[in-house]
Structure 1
Amino acid sequence: MKYFKKLLTSAALLAMSSLTVQADEFRLGLITPPPHIWTKAAEAFGAELAEASDGAHSLSVFPARQLGNEAEMLQQLQTGALDMAFMTVAEVSNRAPELGAFYAPYLANDIGHAGRILRSDSAKSMLEPLPGQVGVVGLGYGMAGLRQIVSRGDVSSAADLAGKKLRITPFAPILDFYNAVGAAPTPMPLPSVYDALANGQVDAIDMDAELIWVLKYYDHADTIVQSDHMMFPMVGLVSAKVWAGMSEDDRAMISDLMTKHVDSTIDSYVAKEAGWLEQIAGTGKTYTKVDASFFGNAIDEWNAIWSQKTSSLDALRATAADTE
């Protein structure tokens, strides 16, 4: 309740004018394809919103970058041109660097532990500055699976990634990590990844198990490294301008329902991650499971860089220790 009150105050301060007309239809954007867990959660949120409001509100979901990439959608949220989004914390961290702490290598021991970290009070408190910093209201976290490595060539140590073009999500924490590894991190949008791996435009990719399996990225790979080296959070966002124009009842309803459905993705990944990894291991590709020692000094280098960029790292590590 304390956090909710802070959201109301912060969003109100950002309002350009006093809005008196409540939009009946909201638009929500995502980069994930229609079958993805995040997209399904967004659709379930929309269905429950319509039911809870007795049809007064509806939600149109636009998956697969129909409204632009995440940077473009974030700009739309800031102006109020887009109402809502389920967005990677990665993109938001480009505007709010404190959130980069979530990507500390091996912050989470496993997928279940990642979920407990995201559900912690310390994680939730990191959303409080977003209205003022970014122009969005963060209502809760979801996630994708832990990060793995898929390579066209043999990978028996991190040294085998040296100089290799490795596809990443374009944000600073993972760029710094793979620079420390010695790879050539190559930002690339999700729809381009399959063909890029097939034609050798990239040598390897950083990806979660769901998409490695569902989108068949293993087709053009020789090696899958189950490294589980980073968590990959998602956040449910509402435009602060749109939020400021809502009634208190609508804010409460949308907050409850969006938080519920974003959070549901955590349970989905906890339940399904092991099955996806088992299926990937059965594809006949070289499959290796490694731990933090695989990356040598790269983790220490990342920690040295990010201890200077965010003050949240120690608090989040303490939370991780408390939730083991």
Structure 2
Amino acid sequence: MKKSLLKKLAVPITVMSLAISIIGCSAEESSTSSKGDGKSKATGEKITLRLSEAQVDDYPDSLAEKEFAKIVEQKSDGRIKIDVYTAGQLGDEKTTIEQTQVGVIDMGRANAGPLTQFADKFGVFSFPFLFNSRDHMWKAIDNGLGEELFKNLEEKGDLVGLAFYDAGARNFYSKDPISKLKDVKGKKIRVMQNDILIDAFKELGVSPTPLSASEVYSALQMGVIDGGENNVSTYVADGHYEIAKNFTESEHLRIPGVLFMSKKAWDKLSSEDQKIIKEAAKESEKFQQDAYDKYSDEAMKKVEEKGNKVIPLSKEDREAFHDKVQPVYDKYKAQFGDLFKIIDDAR
């Protein structure tokens, strides 16, 4: 009986031992996981940090993170090395956030959308027509919005915010042209599963249809939905431009990416090394923006080559859309009012 029980337990115990071994190796690979004196520069120790990226190797965010790693290595005279793992090798965005929280991964990058589950103030990016332009968003981030969000991220999410990365603007695309507010009324538009966004789209007269990203193509094909909303790069990459041939430059949402670090790993660094990482991350923002511009331009060329209709939204029509969603701003004013003010002051 005892021998039989031992045989049954042998496999689970082996798997558990392997898992513990892997975690142990991870901790040894990163000096910040094994050292906790917070005097990394003073002691001259060499540090290796692991950064998780869900996007592919040549995506703008991945390229910017490699540039970030290069700058950190230069500024630290080769003492701090950052290994960038792309294409989801260490997990998707949600897994990256969770693993970085507990210190299994040292750094990560995720869209502000999933970060809302860990630090609620990031939900401010869910409000349509929040920013007048890309410049307006960056001005707001640099003039207090970024600071408030990073404070929330550290307090609620046990993560240290390092930089914001551009993810472009989300736009409407559909089978029929959309150029005015009346054109969206009754249309079944795929949206992310996001309460604020769903509320806002209902105010516009849209029939918001939450679907996973993988379901959108077939839903467009079968007529389950009339259109969707996303940035031009995803519109092309996911093949939606093959079916929904009208692309409206509504720029109704701007949801940036966020580069962050484990609070556990951060606290083990000296103040000098923390400064190096912060400065390098900030420098990588411009590199990422330039890379993203090229990436988006290439996608737009494909849209035009396909013969799709690109429809600009006039200032007056944009204001009509914005006014229509105002009740949603009023509904959430108690929660986001301080952030709305920072954004309004940056106009």
Shift of 1:278: 6.5
Matched with 2:88 is 65
User: Counterparts of 1:246 and 1:35 in 2: how far apart (Å)?
Assistant: 30
Alignment of 1:278-317 (within 5 A): 280-281=303-304, 283-290=306-313, 291-293=317-319, 295=321, 298-317=324-343
Contact 1:77 1:83 in 2 (8 A): yes
- SS, match of residue 310 in structure 1: helix
1:260-314 CA deviation, whole Å, 9 max, x = no partner?
Answer: 2135434555687677556634532233222425647641232123213323343
Which amino acid in the other structure matches residue 207 of structure 2? A
Shift of 1:166: 0.5
1:232-287 CA deviation, whole Å, 9 max, x = no partner?
Answer: 22222001111111222221111111122135434555687677556634532233
Contact 2:140 2:343 in 1 (8 A): no
Which amino acid in the other structure matches residue 36 of structure 2? L
CA RMSD of the aligned region, Å?
3.3
Answer yes or no: is 1:26 the counterpart of 2:52.
no
User: Counterparts of 1:31 and 1:294 in 2: how far apart (Å)?
Assistant: 37
Matched with 2:116 is 93
- SS, match of residue 311 in structure 1: helix
Q: Comparing both chains, which one has the higher relative contact order based on Cα–Cα distances under 8 Å and sequence gaps of 6 or more? A: 1
Shift of 1:75: 0.9
TM-score in terms of structure 1 length: 0.79
Answer yes or no: is 1:254 the counterpart of 2:280.
no
TM-score in terms of structure 2 length: 0.74
The alpha-carbon distance between structure 1 residues 207 and 81, as it changes in their structure 2 partners (threshold 3 A), is same
Larger displacement relative to structure 2 (69-78 or 298-307): 298-307
User: Counterparts of 2:296 and 2:133 in 1: how far apart (Å)?
Assistant: 10
Return the structure number with greater helix share. Answer: 2
User: Counterparts of 2:219 and 2:52 in 1: how far apart (Å)?
Assistant: 27
Matched with 1:7 is none
Aligned mate of 1:130, from 145, 153, 159: 153
- SS, match of residue 130 in structure 1: helix
Contact 2:165 2:257 in 1 (8 A): yes
Which amino acid in the other structure matches residue 169 of structure 2? L
Matched with 1:186 is 210
Greater C-alpha Rg: 2
Matched with 1:147 is 170
Matched with 2:74 is 51
Which amino acid in the other structure matches residue 232 of structure 1? I
Contact 1:115 1:266 in 2 (8 A): no
Shift of 1:148: 0.7
1:14-42 CA deviation, whole Å, 9 max, x = no partner?
Answer: xx998248783222123333332111101
Matched with 1:10 is none
> Between Structure 1 and Structure 2, how many residues are aligned?
304
Contact 1:111 1:270 in 2 (8 A): no
Which amino acid in the other structure matches residue 135 of structure 1? D
The alpha-carbon distance between structure 1 residues 90 and 80, as it changes in their structure 2 partners (threshold 3 A), is same
Matched with 2:133 is 110
Q: Structure 1 vs Structure 2: percent identity of aligned residues?
A: 19
Structure 2: runs of 5 or more not aligned: 1-32
User: Counterparts of 1:50 and 1:215 in 2: how far apart (Å)?
Assistant: 36
- SS, match of residue 253 in structure 2: coil
Contact 2:127 2:200 in 1 (8 A): no
Matched with 1:219 is 242
